[in-house]
Amino acid sequence: MSLSEDLLVKLKAKATLVLEKNGDVVVDERTATLLALIDRFGSILAAARALGLAYSRAWDAIARIERNLGVKIVEVKRGGRGGGGAKLTSEGKRLLELYAEEYMKNLRRPLLVPSLGFKVPALVYAGSHDLLVERIFGSLRDESLENIEMAWVGSSGGLALLMLGEADIAGVHLYDPSTGRYNTPYLSRYWLEDKVVVVRGYDREVGFAMRDHVDDPLEGLLRGELRLVNRNIGSGTRVLLDYLLERKAIEKNLGIEEVKKVKGYDVEVKTHMDIVKAIAQGEADVGLTTYWAAKQYGLKFKHVTWERFDFIIARSSLERNEVKRFISFLSTDKIREIAEAIEGYIIPSDSGEIIKD
């Protein structure tokens, strides 16, 4: 079989440029364009949306460059949503200039940066990954609340984006061992005490998922008998697991430094479905996750706790219709119907109420 002339003329050559360090790609055309848009709009959200890039992926791209070069290229600052929350540092500007110079030198054309070209999201959710959150926003979309931006950046990441004014709502389930409380103790750590309200969400069951039953997964991990698949730093699940492992290490007269020696401790994934998939495929033996996720892959499950999953909402967003609809939805029968269809969730009587004003 040969290529016809008609087919050959349809093939177009395209060249691009990458900047490498020790053989690793530091900046490619897409990340350079992202930096240029951040510089133009003063907002990571606006830049990501203009590129059609998930917000979390934009953050990942920035973090990857900064880790590789060992310098800050984007400086974030507190501010209202829509007013801008980020700018390039002097190092970031020089990196972008270098890329543009090399692009012109090697490809004989300027780097093209698109115009804004995106619709401002009606609602920005940033925070923990959760099935019920997905179902809630899916239902709201069915009710014609469209253009919702969702960033699975973990509970701590959600609070950080609220602090920067880049999100309206953060879904969090952060346990504070020193007080035995969820979520509210963390507000002061992000300078959010007077800038947000806490709206009661629901409780969800979390525990250890595994292929074969183990009486004490924590002990098995510390002994090196089991391999872990971990959640990303900043997630509420990671915070809880670290607490459980450290408590077990102390109980066994081990130093808490043994926690980081657990097999697979540095293997991080971003969602609960990633946890259970890794276990089901034999890439890990155990992971802390939700009951529902474990059951989707037919895994054994050892209960740990019912954790509070609440919503931290910017005061500046409370009067927006989209946010009002979200809060109202939490107290309807509809959310209870959704929760009843999936195992491992409890909707309390005060769901949708402000619990810290």
Residue 12 has a pLDDT of: 78
- Angstrom distance (rounded) from CA 153 to CA 125: 10
Q: DSSP letter string over 214-283?
A: -S-HHHHHHTTSS-B-EEPTT-HHHHHHHHHHHHHHHHTT--GGGGGGSTTTT-EESSHHHHHHHHHTTS
Q: Report if pTM > 0.85.
A: no
More confident residue, 202 or 161: 202
Q: Are 24 and 68 in contact (CB under 8 A)?
A: yes
**For the domain 13-107, what is the CATH code?**
1.10.10.10
**For the domain 123-356, what is the CATH code?**
3.40.190.290
Residue 188 has a pLDDT of: 93
Residue 288 has a pLDDT of: 97
Of the listed ranges 29-33, 217-221, 228-232, the one predicted with least confidence: 29-33
Residue 245, judged by CB atoms within 10 A of its CB (0-12, 13-18, 19+), counts as: buried
Q: Are 88 and 39 in contact (CB under 8 A)?
A: yes
- Angstrom distance (rounded) from CA 314 to CA 165: 8
231: confidence class by pLDDT, cuts 50, 70, 90: very high
**DSSP conformational letter for 106:** H
145-175: per-residue pLDDT in tens?
667 878 888 899 899 888 888 889 999 999 9
Residue 2 has a pLDDT of: 67
Q: Is the pLDDT of residue 239 over 90?
A: yes
Residue 118 has a pLDDT of: 56
42-60: per-residue pLDDT in tens?
778 778 878 888 777 888 8
83: confidence class by pLDDT, cuts 50, 70, 90: very low
List the structure tokens of 268: 């991080």
- Angstrom distance (rounded) from CA 164 to CA 83: 10
Residue 213 has a pLDDT of: 92
Number of H helices, E strands in the chain: 13, 16
Q: Is the pLDDT of residue 80 over 50?
A: no
- Angstrom distance (rounded) from CA 76 to CA 87: 7
Q: Are 72 and 66 in contact (CB under 8 A)?
A: yes
Domain boundaries of the chain, sorted by first residue: 13-107, 123-356
